[in-house]
A and B are shown apart, each in its own frame.
Chain A
């Protein structure tokens, strides 16, 4: 049964996750053709409603929608009436009148895409809401890992950084667990919550590496959210949790893969040399993001009954 919306990973069961990841393969295959566009969503419209800055996710969704021949409408929030105090409900009613088929939402408030989904017949895709969820990031991460290990059960992924405020950590940990992957979190004590018993928790880099992960997944340090200081300085963060040149040498020796949701802060989460390391999957993640988002757009059915 196709869903109307994609709001989080928790609402997908194992067979639906497998279906979406399998379907992403033929979509990625299209990228090798000279004509990368297919007519599947011809005549459909996709509205991009981004209340929070994003270059990567925004353009990834836009490319995905355009390769499916959908029309893309960018709702420029900065210039819209939202800044004049229009409520989300009023905005959605306006959008409803535009009869778009898909709405891609990013907002700093957790749960907002879900609220919008209830107000509209359009399919709503959560492109990141607060510290809650980022389901398409999770799907593309799982897809990237499956490209390396087709059956990833039993593999180990170490997620490093500010786990507490990260929707990426939340969604990606959840999807990996559903696929039988072992997940551990590493970061400053105050930023690594006890999310669930199945996730190992580390505050020391050396101890985390002794756990023998297969993938080191670096979260982005949110430079723009420097209002509260969770660690002494960026240099200190790099020294404690960043992939330094010395740590990269160890990672290379062990043959580990490096992932990052982007955009990277060089000299903070990782040193320059990581970008040239042959097992850095950051660019694969970008390409896979388009394929996975195409699979999601193709799978969702606008107008289907909202599953509550």
Chain B
């Protein structure tokens, strides 16, 4: 079994890259960051901290997409639900959805459905800390922190300080016969 690791520095650089790209594209405009549970919320919180250094109207929310998944029939147990907290008006807002890893795109599909039940945003963009490829939906990110070349069957485990106690990404490659 082969394994690669990204360090806390790599993650910090990825977050920095996201912040620079968001700044460049939407200078000073009002933004609403919505992190997807779990870990997307922590990435969004870091973006919020860095973006709030400038004079800008920023909102922050958290979204749980469990009830919008498309794979209930395949699950032995339904995923535990957590509260969503979107304390601002979604209607007409410029929203950046934030997640830790972009893989098949199914989570983002579910998040877009969930979001539409809160209102009709003016614009929705997608920021991901890691894009590991292998999409199964026509979904592409607007902002990417780290691009990883992976095999479809590899596992990408993201740990973040607030959720897991440390910043680290482990890429466990599938076993070759």
- Contacts of A23 on B, CB cut-off 8 Å? 80-81
The 0/1 profile, CB within 8 Å of A marked 1, for residues 72-114 of chain B is 1000111011111000000000000000000000000000011
Which of A28-36, A200-208, A247-255, A276-284 contacts the other chain?
A: A28-36
B118's nearest neighbour on chain A, judged by CB, is A33
Q: Does B42 contact A (CB under 8 A)?
A: no
- Contacts of B118 on A, CB cut-off 8 Å? 33-35
The 0/1 profile, CB within 8 Å of B marked 1, for residues 270-304 of chain A is 00000000000000000000000000001101000
Residue from B67, B69, B78, B114 within 8 A of A2 (CB atoms): B78
The 0/1 profile, CB within 8 Å of A marked 1, for residues 136-173 of chain B is 00000000000000000000000000000000000000
- Contacts of A38 on B, CB cut-off 8 Å? 67-68, 114, 117
- Contacts of A1 on B, CB cut-off 8 Å? 77
B85's nearest neighbour on chain A, judged by CB, is A29
Main secondary structure of the interface of A (DSSP, over half): loop
A68's nearest neighbour on chain B, judged by CB, is B67
| B79 CB to nearest chain A CB (Å) | 10
Q: Does A37 contact B (CB under 8 A)?
A: yes
- Contacts of B72 on A, CB cut-off 8 Å? 40-41
Q: Given A25-B83, A40-B72, A2 and B64 touching (CB < 8 A)?
A: no
Chain A interface bracket (under 10, 10 to 19, 20 to 34, 35 or more): 20 to 34
Q: Given A35-B118, A40-B67, A29 and B84 touching (CB < 8 A)?
A: yes
Q: Does A39 contact B (CB under 8 A)?
A: yes
- In the complex, how many residues of chain B place their beta carbon closer than 8 angstroms to a beta carbon of chain A? 19
Q: Does A85 contact B (CB under 8 A)?
A: no
The 0/1 profile, CB within 8 Å of A marked 1, for residues 113-149 of chain B is 1100111000000000000000000000000000000
CB atoms of B78 and A298 under 8 A apart? yes
| B41 CB to nearest chain A CB (Å) | 14
CA distance A23 to B82 in the complex (A): 7
CB atoms of A37 and B81 under 8 A apart? no
| B168 CB to nearest chain A CB (Å) | 29
CA distance A295 to B20 in the complex (A): 42
CB atoms of A29 and B83 under 8 A apart? yes
Residues of B within 8 A of A (CB): 64, 66-69, 72, 76-78, 80-84, 113-114, 117-119
The 4 A-B residue pairs whose C-beta atoms are closest, nearest first, are: A35-B117, A38-B67, A40-B67, A26-B83
Could you name 28 residue pairs across A and B whose Cβ atoms are closer than 8 Å?
A1-B77, A2-B76, A2-B78, A19-B80, A23-B81, A25-B83, A26-B81, A26-B82, A26-B83, A26-B84, A33-B117, A34-B117, A34-B118, A34-B119, A37-B117, A38-B68, A38-B114, A39-B67, A39-B113, A40-B66, A40-B67, A40-B69, A40-B72, A40-B78, A41-B72, A299-B78, A301-B76, A301-B78
